[in-house]
Structure 1
């Protein structure tokens, strides 16, 4: 049997088709139920009209984002039976609440390991009260402290990170933690896996966690067992199940690699060949990452262990993995770094708040690289207000999209932003996957957080906020270098998009918070 035929049969009879089929069957049952209820239209419609009115009051008085509220109010009012039942279905599920309770319990359990050094905050306050307040916010709300920066390296491309990652893995002596949104069977992952298998034989503890979306197309559902056969501890976060559940909408979008508590990597780069431009998807793939050394690695170590233990019942020995990263170094390059994570299950959108703080407090410029631009009114207002204050706001986006609908939504924002003076550029060689903010030669964020609803509200994310670190110069230089490969967009360029594309953006914008 040839390989093409074998792959086709595997797709047809594989778990992905089964899962999708079962979900579609459940959806069909729901639609049939709605149709059956329509036979009793007078009673059902009357009852749900009352229920819809109550739901609208509940939605409007809730704590969620106004755009999210509007996205729910419209279907609840226009289609009372379907809209009302679907809203109840989404919000009465207990899985998300249980996960949040477990996550909050772990955050309290690990808080003792993540206490903020008051002396560091005082040092920052002597330089900038505003930045000290931001660091206090991240510590108090998200639970992640600020550290003195010792050594941070910026990688402007995935292949640059990959080369250093392999070098650092070879030096591992005690443990290796990997947490990635995507792991794909590829040259990149196979090369890493060979090192991990060898390290396990040398007595190094290796843990691998990846998001359960991978089990649909990229990896076999039983792949954790295969890794365990090599001595690697492995798990999927929230594997996709053949059950209609909004819990499956909250993914682990983080990218974290920790080695011996001494070195940590984060950024936008997943473990697949397109991220290192070994294969071409959507043109040249522009992505970024940082490598952190020193005491700040402690923050990434704890982020990994917190996520790992959400589904664990055996108590974790945190001290075992923190001894190395807790040793303070005399080396200090003058800057400060705050590794932080964000959860979709609390009332605080830390990733968004950090971005908005940078824009609101900028004195000269804010430069942004993001693959997606799906903004709520707050972020749009913040960007426009910055321009009105005289701030140079530049955003680099892909020219070749990976998701057509996301592309249409991004373009939908062009007229308003461009008319206000926000400068938008598209990366002509291909796709931008970097998630980078720089401002005033003194602030930067590199991490996993896109400028879209999924990253800002629905996913588990991570990033590093840097203040006064020498590496910020490298990040800004890369922005300028990337800018030279971009085309500046204008209102005339927007008008050249097809009518269908523009209408698509208008329609999708209404439901963007639910996508």
Structure 2
């Protein structure tokens, strides 16, 4: 009887919950829009030529505008099939003032932060003396990504979220001044409950604790009003882009970053969110393979400013940013790798600069011997697809490890639609047989590596706020590569024969889904 009552309560919460009501309200808005467009179309039945001209003008604008050709195609098709509705829906989403206001605010905060993210000319000169071509990437990141490269930075690599978690707890307990945390997914369990207990303790001790989580990523994992409950514990808390029952293009731009900054000198990033599956305390899709890095030193300034840029979007009072910088008296702990260069960076979907994709393309374009990649999703635009194929065709060993047990069937079917084309070009594809690989990593030529939050899909490369760290000739590069090889040993190689034997209906579904790929 008790079980039946619990199930009934869950059902009632589902039916009358904010998510269901919000979805219903959105559907009503869409129906009203359809009805309005239908009425508009009938009203203009004798002026259909005018709507055709408007559609043609919009198509000319889309085709001639800067941007990704695959994303353009995803708009061209509906406009050609449904000229009136497709055209007006495109104008409705692209002309919204809200998104422009938010981008302006992000730029305003970014301008205030820029003096704290200046490139040390001696570091750049040293980088260029070792690698002139690598210096080009640093200059690009300085000018367009607005993040510098650093030396003398301590780095530690974690091949699993299980390995990172106890170290994260230990570092949080050492906090004396402030803790900044920004995560895409948070869910109560072993991991989050232990972290929350530390945050409560630290806030009670007078440590400034700020926590930000994404509205969409936690729609089903945290209760409504959770940020207020956090504030009652003494923790400053914000929801990034709360999900509201209103049609808006901004709702598509989520905060996918994973950042923890402690006292300005210690930072964590990588693919690990704050939920039990990320540390294998809860089994979802088999064994969960994820990665993270711990960074200490001046390079942490970049992560601090990344956090503050989004945090201050809703703040109007100015902050003294200097007090959050890495303390000049900070001494590196023993036992960490300090050699080489570290370049943390962020990517925004609103500034027109695809920094995350540009870094990946630079690695592919400059590779000489190998490029090794792990990604949970493989939904490619023409540019990245061509870069992967060209690298393989010129003799570079390109290996991609994907999940064998996917978390989203549609994303997996889409990824499979690229397999045969990549394989024919010489790209090697493996699937991690123990379960789901959530790690987002690149390694190349024993000298470059990227660990962060950026998947090889449209959402990460074009629609989400993301972050990562680029390592050049740092000892951590070989740690990442060693982990890649261990993961490869547990993975199954995909062949063209595998692709041919894959069920036809699934192959067809994957190809059909490519029309919607920019939204997935």
Deviation at 1:45, TM superposition (A): 3.5
Matching residue within 235, 240, 243 for 1:240: 243
Contact 2:441/2:450, CA 8 A, preserved across alignment:
yes
Does 2:265 correspond to 1:278?
no
Q: Distance in 2 between matches of 1:149 and 1:83?
A: 53
Q: Name 2:8's counterpart in structure 1.
A: 5
Deviation at 1:94, TM superposition (A): 1.0
Q: TM-score, normalised by structure 2?
A: 0.96
Deviation per CA, 1:329-354: give whole Å up to 9, x if none: 69983210000001001121000000
Does 2:189 correspond to 1:203?
no
Is 214-223 or 322-331 further displaced after alignment?
Answer: 322-331
Does 2:160 correspond to 1:140?
no
Q: How does 1:464-483 map to 2 (within 5 A)?
A: 464-483=469-488
Q: Name 2:454's counterpart in structure 1.
A: 449
Contact 1:144/1:299, CA 8 A, preserved across alignment:
yes
Q: Distance in 2 between matches of 1:9 and 1:36?
A: 37
Does 2:405 correspond to 1:397?
no
Q: Distance in 1 between matches of 2:339 and 2:487?
A: 27
Matching residue within 410, 416, 425 for 2:421: 416
Matching residue within 99, 106, 110 for 1:107: 110
Matching residue within 427, 436, 439 for 2:441: 436
Q: Distance in 2 between matches of 1:125 and 1:327?
A: 27
Deviation at 1:149, TM superposition (A): 3.8
Unaligned runs of 5+ in 2: none
Matching residue within 303, 307, 312 for 2:306: 303
Deviation at 1:6, TM superposition (A): 2.4
Residue 4 to residue 149, structure 1, CA distance change in 2 (3 Å): farther
Deviation per CA, 1:348-403: give whole Å up to 9, x if none: 10000000000100111000000000011111111111112110000000011111
Deviation at 1:119, TM superposition (A): 0.2
Deviation at 1:448, TM superposition (A): 0.3
Q: Distance in 1 between matches of 2:329 and 2:353?
A: 28
Q: Name 1:29's counterpart in structure 2.
A: 32
Q: Distance in 1 between matches of 2:286 and 2:421?
A: 28
Q: Distance in 1 between matches of 2:45 and 2:12?
A: 49
Deviation per CA, 1:143-184: give whole Å up to 9, x if none: 111110421111111111111101111111111110001111
Q: Name 2:254's counterpart in structure 1.
A: 251
SS of the aligned residue for 1:148 comes to coil
Residue 193 to residue 328, structure 1, CA distance change in 2 (3 Å): closer
Q: Distance in 1 between matches of 2:135 and 2:372?
A: 22
Unaligned runs of 5+ in 1: none
Is 416-425 or 317-326 further displaced after alignment?
Answer: 317-326
Matching residue within 496, 501, 511 for 1:506: 511
Q: Name 1:190's counterpart in structure 2.
A: 193
Q: Distance in 1 between matches of 2:221 and 2:119?
A: 40
Q: Distance in 1 between matches of 2:437 and 2:241?
A: 27
SS of the aligned residue for 1:235 comes to strand
What is the total number of aligned residue pairs between the two structures? 515
Contact 2:297/2:326, CA 8 A, preserved across alignment:
no
Q: Distance in 1 between matches of 2:513 and 2:454?
A: 21
Contact 2:286/2:434, CA 8 A, preserved across alignment:
yes
Q: Distance in 1 between matches of 2:494 and 2:332?
A: 47
Q: Distance in 1 between matches of 2:76 and 2:48?
A: 17
Contact 1:179/1:255, CA 8 A, preserved across alignment:
yes
Matching residue within 227, 230, 235 for 2:230: 227
Residue 381 to residue 261, structure 1, CA distance change in 2 (3 Å): same
Q: Name 1:360's counterpart in structure 2.
A: 365
SS of the aligned residue for 1:221 comes to coil
Q: Distance in 2 between matches of 1:16 and 1:142?
A: 36
Deviation per CA, 1:426-474: give whole Å up to 9, x if none: 0111111000000001000000000000000001000000000001111
Deviation per CA, 1:15-73: give whole Å up to 9, x if none: 11111111111011112223334544633643221111000110011011111111111
Contact 2:155/2:338, CA 8 A, preserved across alignment:
no
Deviation at 1:4, TM superposition (A): 2.9
Q: Distance in 1 between matches of 2:7 and 2:211?
A: 30
Deviation at 1:198, TM superposition (A): 0.6
Contact 1:371/1:431, CA 8 A, preserved across alignment:
yes
Residue 467 to residue 65, structure 1, CA distance change in 2 (3 Å): same
Q: Distance in 1 between matches of 2:159 and 2:328?
A: 26
Q: Name 1:151's counterpart in structure 2.
A: 154
Deviation at 1:494, TM superposition (A): 1.2
Does 2:85 correspond to 1:82?
yes
Q: Distance in 2 between matches of 1:507 and 1:44?
A: 34
Q: Distance in 1 between matches of 2:189 and 2:97?
A: 37
Residue 166 to residue 327, structure 1, CA distance change in 2 (3 Å): closer
Deviation at 1:244, TM superposition (A): 0.8
Matching residue within 66, 69, 74 for 1:66: 69
Contact 1:294/1:325, CA 8 A, preserved across alignment:
no
